[in-house]
Amino acid sequence: MREPDISIAECSYRRVLEIVSNKWTALVIYALEDGTLRYGLIKSRIADISQKMLTQTLKQLERDGLVVRKVTPVVPPVVDYALTPLGRTLLPFLRMLKDWSSAHYASVSEAREAYDAVHQDASHG
Amino acid sequence: MREPDISIAECSYRRVLEIVSNKWTALVIYALEDGTLRYGLIKSRIADISQKMLTQTLKQLERDGLVVRKVTPVVPPVVDYALTPLGRTLLPFLRMLKDWSSAHYASVSEAREAYDAVHQDASHG
DNA sequence: CGGTATCCGCTCTGATACTG
DNA sequence: CAGTATCAGAGCGGATACCG
């Protein structure tokens, strides 16, 4: 029999989707996969993230228990970020998505071109 | 040696993230995991999605070659949607995320409460 | 260096109304 | 039933300026 719990709306799945569905969250987690990184290093890894968005994303991740923040009170300040064990459990998921990208993104691109050729009104790039 | 290609900005990973990072995309794909579904059925599976957002998401998914749309020209109209083979390759990824939710979402909740207790200014729920 | 605060545009999203 | 069109509001996200 089919599970009846699938009316997808209310479960934790949805909440987790909200976490990962941010523009930057996945990228930041992925940037930290190799271990602890200072704020500036994370920023240079992602490059086109703004300071505001990086800080905001990091703060949210910290709140969710996915990242730890460690301040070393020296001048100038040193702030390190690292994934928590909980945060690290998301890595396989991110890697899987990355593999998917390598394997299938070309197909998506083709599909878009084909679609746009037919529907003739697109200008997405 | 470490791969130098990791400056995460420009690769397909990023583009794929854009696909999945929509509020509804993952939910719609997931709704279609069991096979073909009519428009109204999808809507009832997701429940709190608006007509506009469902249509928009479906159209985007079709453009990306992840979903096929089949119109049966009768009155009243019947429109069926199904995942393409390409779309189906995303399912393991979605299931993995769902498993993660079941396993770890409680931890996230706890972390939030702890964080909010300390930072005292939150009111997210 | 690693933030915080503010302003502002733009996109995403949801109601509502209408069509075939 | 399955859309399309339009409008208005909320929030995202970037640029800029300032602080410890």
Cβ atoms within 10 Å, residue A79: 14
Q: Do B47 and A90 touch (CB under 8 A)?
A: no
- Please name the member of B46, B100, B110 whose beta carbon is closest to the beta carbon of A16: B100
pTM over 0.75: yes
pLDDT in tens, A11-26: 788 888 888 888 899 9
Strand C contacted by B23 CB (< 7 A)? yes
- The Cα B96–Cα A90 span in angstroms is 10
Q: Do A63 and B98 touch (CB under 8 A)?
A: no
- The Cα A72–Cα A79 span in angstroms is 6
Instruction: Flag residues 62-121 of B with CB < 7 Å from strand C.
Output: 76-77
Q: With bands split at pLDDT 50, 70 and 90, how would you rate the model's confidence at A8?
A: low
* Shortest CA gap A74–chain B (Å): 23
CA A47 centroid distance within chain: 14
Nearest residue to B101 via CA among A60, A31, A8: A8
Q: With bands split at pLDDT 50, 70 and 90, how would you rate the model's confidence at B33?
A: very high
pLDDT of residue B38: 97
- The Cα A54–Cα A31 span in angstroms is 12
Please check the confidence at residue A121 and state whether its pLDDT lies above 60. Answer: no
